[in-house]
Amino acid sequence: MRNNVSIERMRANLTREELADRLGYRGTSSVRRIEAGEQPLTDEQLVVLAKTFGCTVDYLLRLSDYRKPMVLTVLDRKREGRD
């Protein structure tokens, strides 16, 4: 399953080695496979990556185009005329 991990890794200016270390891998082959969508991510890895990159898990998994959660407050709804 394709994901946004490689995009976020580059945006965070991290090497594959650095990301492998954060995920608890010794080498970069697992990170390469994760970025290619060939190796699934565990729930724990998804949380680590989302915190590392400052984005949502949905964005990492390409379930959303939004890096940050979209929160619509009561004030926003009133401004838009949607009481």
Give the mean pLDDT of the chain.
Answer: 89
Ordered DSSP codes for 11-32: HTT--HHHHHHHHT-SSSHHHH
CATH of the domain at 67: 1.10.260.40
Q: Tell me the pLDDT tens digit for each residue of 21-33.
A: 999 999 999 999 9
Range of 71's domain?
5-79
Q: How many domains would you assign to the chain?
A: 1
Report pLDDT digits (tens) over 47-64: 999 999 999 999 999 999
